Chain A
Amino acid sequence: MKKKAPYLLSIVVIAVYMVFAYGSGEDDNIELNADVSFTGTQFIITNNDIFDYENCRIELNSKYLLKNVDMDAGDTYTVGIMRFADKDGNRFTLNQKPQKLTISCKVEGEKYGFLYAEWN
Chain B
Amino acid sequence: MTNVKTSIQLVIFVVFPMLIGGTIYVIARPTSIILFSWLNDLGLESFIISIRSVINANDFLNNWTIYNSPALFWSFSFTCFLGIIWNCNIDLESFSILLIPMCSGIVAEILQKTSVINGTFDIVDIRSYIIGGLLGIFIINHRTKIRVT
Contacts and interface: CB of A to CB of B under 8 A. Distances in A.
A and B are partners in one complex rather than unrelated chains: yes
9 contacts: A6-B87, A17-B78, A20-B22, A22-B34, A25-B117, A26-B32, A29-B32, A57-B43, A104-B49
B85 A23 contact: no
A73 interface: no
A24 B32 CA distance: 10
Given A20-B74, A27-B118, 18 more contacts: A10-B85, A10-B86, A14-B104, A17-B81, A21-B104, A25-B34, A26-B32, A26-B34, A26-B118, A27-B32, A27-B37, A28-B32, A30-B32, A62-B50, A104-B46, A114-B45, A114-B49, A116-B52
Contacts of B117: 25
B80 to A, nearest CB: 10
B45 A6 contact: no
Interface of B: 18, 22, 25, 29, 31-38, 40, 43, 45-47, 49-50, 52-53, 70, 74, 77-78, 81-82, 85-87, 93-94, 97, 100-101, 104-105, 108, 117-120
Most buried by A among B29, B33, B120: B33
Instruction: Describe A's contact surface by its main secondary structure.
Output: mixed
A43 to B, nearest CB: 15
Given A62-B46, A104-B40, A29 B104 contact: no
Contacts of A44: none
B134 to A, nearest CB: 17
B36 A26 contact: no
B50 A9 contact: no
B45 A23 contact: no
Contacts of B82: 10, 13-14
Nearest to A30: B32
B97 A116 contact: no
Interface string A61-100: 0100000000000000000000000000000000000001
A27 B40 CA distance: 13
B51 to A, nearest CB: 9
Contact of B36 (A9, A14, A29, A59): A29
Nearest to B43: A57
A27 B50 CA distance: 21
Contact of A112 (B40, B87, B105): B40
A112 B119 CA distance: 18
A35 interface: no
B81 to A, nearest CB: 5
